[in-house]
Structures are given as structure tokens and as C-alpha cells.
Amino acid sequence: MLKGRILVTGAAGFIGSHLCDRFVNDGYHVIGMDNLITGNLGNIEHLFHLKEFEFYHHDVSKFVHVPGDLNYILHFASPASPIDYLKMPIQTLKVGSLGTHNLLGLAKQKKSRILIASTSEVYGDPLVHPQTEEYWGNVNPIGPRGVYDEAKRFQEAITMAYHRYHGLETRIVRIFNTYGPRMRMEDGRVLPAFFSQAIRGEELTVFGDGSQTRSFCYVNDLVDGIVRLLLSDYEKPVNLGNPQEVTVLEFANEIIQLVGNPKARIAYRELPEDDPKQRKPDISLARKILHWEPKFDRSKGLELTFEYFKKIVPLQ
């Protein structure tokens, strides 16, 4: 017997597709929705033959209709990498504002619980380290990254407004750097960029001196945390990520060693505008409320991710 019906937006994306897998495996009927501007149907085509899964090709920035009951909505539709949202700034703002508004309206109509995918980018270039949920952030609203940062900050604000004014059951997850199979090789984020460059025997592009830090969470850990948050009673934002911090330069050298291509080497470039210098989640709240913390260490997660990327870009 099915546990319920779930709508996942951004279903053909990296995280969205893993969520579809998880909820199908957990016994739900999953409706995946994506306009495919950055999503890839190949990420979910293995689900198409299942009666527990259906797919809607639709842009959530336009009116959203789903027939029948809906128990849960998970809003993961959005360009999520700098290359994508710098190329599609208006779409990024619209999916965070109009799209979120449409889905909150759908949740109100269906009496569904809705979980909104926010991001560590709401903290901007943080002045507090590590970042707790109480930190309000240091964001440049008119900088090149502002289209993504402010779309997500607005998304949180309207979600809490619907919760307070309409009594809607809402959940907000602030996602820190996540990696794993199904990432797009050319999406501009540091991990797929480093893997593609190392596999091809090219220079790994390190911006600045590489001393800026990142924290990487394996996608299976993130999905587990999202499911726990969805089914919890906690209504305010929760950080999910791996607090194990590494400098970008150290990370580049880890990738070079793992890939083992003797031609791969590091090249330094000028630091982009508003690039965060530190990014590390404080996950004390997730530990307390959700009894969650990452289980995959970075070496194991990188091995699994490398196996996926080898199939996309053959070793040179």
C-alpha cells in the first residue's frame, strides 16, 4: 500500500532525481516535475516504467496544477550553479519567487506539507564561521550572484509568510555543497570542474590562492536529512551539509591524486566577485532535531562520484 503522493519539482536535476529514487523506494507515488532547462531526463528515465512514478514537463513559474491528492511537495526547481544562474538570471529569480508562490498556493489548496530547498548561499560571504541558522548573512543583492542568493532569501520569506498567515505546514532546508553521481560535468561548480579537468589531463582552475574553504556532503547523506526534515515537526530553516572543511587547493590535490592522470596540474586564476571565502555548516540543530549527521567520509564519496564521472568523460 502506498504511503502517499509526493510532488518533486526539479525532479530531473541532481538532487531532485535522487529524491525521486528515495521516495519511490520508500513506498510513495512520486510525481516528478521539471522544465528541463538544466535537468536531464536521463537522471530519472529508469523510473518511467514504474506505476509509482509519473513525470510532468512543466515550468513551475507558470500556474501549477496536479490532479488528485498530494501529501507532500518538495520544491527543488532552480538553476543551482553559478554558470547556470549567471546565464539565466531572470529564470532563476522567477523560479524562486513566482515558482515558490505557485507551489505554496498548490500546497494550500491540497492541504499538503511543503519543503523548500534553500541554500547556504543565503549566508553570502559569511562574517560568522561556521554558519548557524540564526546568522542573517552577508549578501550583495546587486552583485552577479545576487539573482540566486536573493531568490532563495525571498523563497524563505514567502514560505514563512504562508506558514504564519495561512497556517501552512512548511519546512526549509539550507543545503550546503553537495556532490555525487548525476552532477553535470560542465555546470561550473568546483567538484565537477575539477573532475572533468583532471580526467581530461587539463589544468585544474583554482581561483585566488586556493585558501578559501568548502564543505562537501555526499548526496545520499543529504537526501536522508531532507527526508527526516520533511517528516519532522520543525518549521524553521535547518542546515544540512558536511562540516568537514577543506581548502579548495587541498581539494584540487585530492582530485588529482584520485584520478591519477599525470597531465593534470593546478592553474591559478583571479578570484571571482563575491566568491565566498569560507563555507562550513553548523549542523548542531540537525543533530538535535533530526538525529542526523553525514555518514559518508569524503574519500568514499569521491570514489563513488569518480566512478560515475569516468563513464561520462573517458580517461585521456
Indicate if 130 and 194 belong to the same structural domain: no
Q: Give the cell for residue 47.
A: 523510473
pLDDT (tens, 9 = 90+) of the chain, 316 residues, equals 889 999 999 999 999 999 999 999 999 999 999 999 999 999 999 999 999 999 999 999 999 999 999 999 999 999 988 888 889 999 999 999 999 999 999 999 999 999 999 999 998 888 888 989 999 988 889 988 899 999 999 999 999 999 999 999 999 999 999 999 999 887 778 899 999 999 999 999 898 888 888 899 999 999 999 999 999 999 999 999 999 999 999 999 999 999 999 898 898 888 776 566 777 899 999 999 999 999 999 999 999 999 999 888 765 5
Instruction: List the one residue out of 284, 286, 285, 279 whose CA is nearest residue 128.
Output: 279
In a domain, 290, yes or no: no
In a domain, 289, yes or no: no
Q: What's the one-letter identity of residue 213?
A: T
CATH number of the domain that residue 199 is part of:
3.90.25.10
In a domain, 29, yes or no: yes
Indicate if 123 and 161 belong to the same structural domain: yes
Indicate if 160 and 248 belong to the same structural domain: no
To the query of whether residue 148 is one of the catalytic residues in this protein, the response is yes
Indicate if 110 and 253 belong to the same structural domain: no
Q: Answer yes or no: pTM beyond 0.75.
A: yes
Indicate if 145 and 197 belong to the same structural domain: no
Sequential DSSP letters for 240-308: ES---EEEHHHHHHHHHHHH--TT-EEEEEPPPTT--S---B--HHHHHHH-----S-HHHHHHHHHHH
Indicate if 189 and 167 belong to the same structural domain: no
Instruction: List the one residue out of 306, 222, 220, 216 whose CA is nearest residue 261.
Output: 306
CATH number of the domain that residue 174 is part of:
3.40.50.720
In a domain, 69, yes or no: yes
Please pick, among 148, 162, 179, 218, the residue that the annotation labels catalytic. Answer: 148
Domain count across the chain: 2
CB burial class (10 A; 0-12, 13-18, 19+) of residue 273?
Answer: exposed
Indicate if 17 and 87 belong to the same structural domain: yes
Task: Decide: 79 and 36 in contact? Cβ < 8 Å.
Answer: no
249 is in which domain, residue-wise?
A: 184-214+244-279+298-312
In a domain, 285, yes or no: no
In a domain, 76, yes or no: yes
Indicate if 94 and 193 belong to the same structural domain: no
CA 296 – CA 299 distance, rounded (Å): 8
Indicate if 160 and 202 belong to the same structural domain: no
Indicate if 197 and 121 belong to the same structural domain: no
Indicate if 53 and 103 belong to the same structural domain: yes
Indicate if 231 and 271 belong to the same structural domain: no
